[in-house]
Structure 1
Amino acid sequence: GVDPVEAAAAVAGESSTATWTVVWTDLLTACDIYRAKAYRVDPVPGTNDQFFAYIAYECDLFEEGSLANLTASIIGNVFGFKAVKALRLEDMRIPFAYLKTFQGPATGVVVERERLDKFGRPLLGATVKPKLGLSGKNYGRVVYEGLRGGLDFLKDDENINSQPFMRWKERFLYCMEGVNRSAAATGEVKGSYLNVTASTIEQMYERAEYADALGSVIVMIDLVIGYTAIQTMAIWARKAQMILHLHRAGNSTYARQKNHGINFRVICKWMRMSGVDHIHAGTVVGKLEGDPLMVRGFYNTLLLTELKVNLAERLFFDMSWASLRKCVPVASGGIHCGQM
């Protein structure tokens, strides 16, 4: 095996200026400045072959306001690196100056409650089921019944896009009919998360603009569309004064394994930076995996303005959010009123 200090240094080098050999062009740049530094290695309690490595990067290594560039460096090649059996990104402290190059959520918790005129209680939502197979008319009927019964929001599920049994435009029309009827009947502001996820950015723009024209207050995207597309839609939503919900579809492919991948807390930080207003943040009692303290750490990451080290919640760094607005954590994963 490789010495843990040597492995940490190799990861730092591979994710910054180093390559597989020494090259003469190293002399043409200030490598001592731009090279990442592994400054601390601690054993993981209760193990003899796992270690926490703390690595610092020069801020100039990253393009301003670009999640794609940030992730290309931090998680680009190193996760396939032979020097380590497994590698997991547990947490990041993003510097104040770099945070200020991102827009953050356009709406935030307070403004969303003001738009909905709902205070002092959780916002109640649900997902239409069955999530696949309903016609547009029946889908809209479920939306109306749920909102009329007291929900604030209904939502599309992650894999409802524009399938043969229900095209997106048909779904949007019937959903907004249900939203408007329930709002008229209750006198409350209602909404349905209309999933605008599509195969191209142009199609997503078309669907989002159609939802806006119909009067929707919120649209939804999936994490699987990628960081650049998420930032692009967040910029559009800010200009359109639309709430943007992010479904974390696909996150467990790299967040669930305990010794390899990325902790979802890091995804929470990236998504708050990108500008989404909502994100699924899990729950303890539903059908999906969730450790109570770790889930609380996710929620705190999205809601607090200042983060403090809390190892029980897996928060490894103090961090200021540089006045970026809060992102609403959505309790998700098979919860129901019988668990209340």
Structure 2
Amino acid sequence: MRRDYVDQGYSPKDTDMVCEFHIEPAAGVSFEEASTHMAGESSIDSWTEIATLSPELAAKLKPHVFYLDEEAKTVRVAYSEELFELGSVPQVLSAVAGNIFSMKIVDNLRLQDITFPKAMLKEFKGPNFGLPGVREIVDVQDRPLIGTIVKPKVGLTSEKHAEVAYNAFAGGCDLVKDDENLTDQKFNGFEKRAELTLKLAKKAETETGERKMYLCNITAPTCREMVRRLNVLKDLGASYAMIDIVPAGWTALQTLREEAEDAGLALHAHRCMHSAFTRNPRHGVSMLLVAKLCRLIGLDQLHIGTVVGKMHGEKSEVLALRDQCVLGSVPADPSQNVLAQDWGGLKPMFPVASGGLAPTMVPDLYSIFGKDVIMQFGGGIHAHPMGTAAGATACRQALEASLEGVSLEEYAKGRKELEAALEKWLKK
């Protein structure tokens, strides 16, 4: 008979890793039975009774299901840190987000959050630059940063890509990045694109007197190739690299974090593909946990959603992600399935609001996020009636209006770029 791990009198130790799950048992399975099977499968148990683990070790390493709320379908499990390779995100996920999703005794299962104990935090460096370091790189301290993605996503030659990036820089963007599906295609090779775009970024710096950052996508088939591309950027004088975090995988991210520190480059995390397992509120893994793992590993900035743009994400969810990026200690919030987390001094990540944004949304973005956000526009810059440079200028003008507490309509007087943006995008 399988062990019973339900122990509602247990108080988690400082050395325990605590996980919160949403769990829906299959027909005929009790809530407690499903919970104890899930806890066992994610730690020391098997599908049948075995005698290879000593009673002493079983008592020491067994999980504790210390909180059950059947009405809310919420379970919290405390795991001994000794069950884990402390510096390995892949191993941790293989345990608490591995086979358990395939169990027949649950219809739905979702890993909502993990609280990492101090011993585990100490095995990770966190961001090398993070929010404060990125501000130093860009030399902007007191306002949100303005960024864009070169559009269209793919199809431009290296030369045309660099030209679009230059226009965005010249118009007022602090950062220009590749999109998620642009890597090293025949029509736009990685090395040529990087060389040309970084050259024009320097030109824009000279002309504007502002720092301009190009975030080139180094996502590749192997870690070896991604590290090579990282070093190509270093040799070209770049300050940044971009990585598609979910397709690349956790092992790649941990490798790149180490290599990026040696190269002196910041890492921009694009979260494409995350909704394949984060969007269903009843099954999978939460985006909240993805954000926490990115900070743990040490990405410097991360897409978190916009609230007002085209991507999925309610305001409360997006702000919970923002908190995991920027706060030193995150309080528990049961309404958002957030466990308390003291980050132990790990640097904050710079949150990025991206997806369907236009200059007209800047006041709302500033109201929602404050100054510590990267406002990243795509079509909202490149579809401007006067072109890319004017689109970037309109975003900067909208930001200036927000910082000064002036309405966009008032600030647009005498500023043709913002005026044209309002004409195109402002709801009547």
The reply to whether TM is greater than 0.5 is: yes
Question: Is it true that 1:284 corresponds to 2:307 in the alignment?
Answer: yes
Deviation at 1:274, TM superposition (A): 0.6
Q: CA–CA distance in 2 between the matches of 1:232 and 1:13?
A: 31
Amino acid at match of 1:96: K
Map of 1:206-217 to 2, 5 A cutoff? 206-217=228-239
Tell me what 2:138 maps to. Answer: 116
Secondary structure of the corresponding residue to residue 243 of structure 2: strand
Is the 8 Å Cα contact of residues 294 and 314 (structure 1) preserved in structure 2? no
Q: Report runs of 4+ in structure 1 exceeding 4 Å deviation.
A: none
Residue 263 of structure 2 is aligned to residue 237 of structure 1: no
Give me the whole-angstrom Cα distance separating, in 2, the residues matched to 1:240 and 1:151.
Answer: 25
Q: How does 1:81-92 map to 2 (within 5 A)?
A: 81-92=103-114
Instruction: Select which of 57, 77, 86 maps to 1:30.
Output: 57
State how far apart, in whole Å, the 2-side matches of 1:231 and 1:96 are: 19
- Residues of 2 paired with 1:111 and 1:275: CA distance? 12
SS at the partner of 1:57? Answer: strand
TM-score between both structures, scaled by the size of structure 1: 0.96
**Structure 2 Cα separation of the partners of residues 195 and 271 of structure 1:** 17
Q: Distance in 2 between matches of 1:213 and 1:126?
A: 24
- State the partner residue of 2:396: none
- Give the CA deviation at 1:178: 1.7
- Cα deviation code 1:275-304 (max 9, x no counterpart): 110111111111110100111000001110
**Amino acid of the residue matched to residue 313 of structure 2?**
G
Aligned partners of 1:296 and 1:313 also within 8 Å? no
Decide which of 296, 307, 312 is 2:330's aligned counterpart.
307
Q: How big is each residue's C-alpha offset from its partner over 1:215-255, in whole Å with a ceiling of 9 and x where there is no partner?
A: 11100111110000011001111122211011001100000
**Within the alignment, does 1:16 sit opposite 2:43 as a pair?**
yes
Query: What residue in structure 2 maps to residue 157 of structure 1?
Result: 179
Contact 1:191 1:217 in 2 (8 A): yes
CA separation of 1:44 and 1:291: change in aligned 2, threshold 3 A: farther
What residue number does 1:275 align with?
A: 298
Partner of 2:277: 254
**Cα RMSD (Å) of the superposition?**
1.1
For residues 311 and 179 of structure 1, what CA distance do their matches in structure 2 show? 45
- Hey, what's the Cα distance between the residues in 1 that align with 2:315 and 2:212? 31
Structure 2 CA distance, aligned partners of 1:177 and 1:183?
A: 10
**Percent identical:** 34
Aligned residue pair count: 334
SS in 2 for 1:124: strand
Q: Which moved more, 1:85-94 or 1:36-45?
A: 36-45
Distance 2:60 2:357 in 1: 49
Runs of 5+ unmatched residues, structure 1: 46-50
Partner of 1:101, secondary structure, is coil
Cα separation, 2, equivalents of 1:56 and 1:334: 40
* SS of residue matched to 1:195: coil
Give 1 or 2 for the bigger CA radius of gyration: 2
1:96 is aligned to 2:123: no
- The answer to whether the 8 A contact 1:15-1:77 is kept is yes
What is the rounded CA distance, in whole Å, between the counterparts of 1:37 and 1:299 in structure 2? 30
> Separation in 2 of the partners of 1:177 and 1:318?
45
Q: Does 1:228 align with 2:262?
A: no
TM-score (norm 2): 0.76
- Does 2:118 align with 1:105? no
Report the equivalent of 1:79: 101
Post-superposition shift, 1:163? Answer: 0.9
- Deviation for aligned residue 1:27: 2.7
1:6 aligns with 2:6: no
C-alpha distance in structure 1 between counterparts of 2:335 and 2:86, whole Å: 32
What's the counterpart of residue 380 of structure 2? none
Q: Paired residue for 1:189? A: 211
Please tell me the residue identity of whatever aligns with 2:60: I
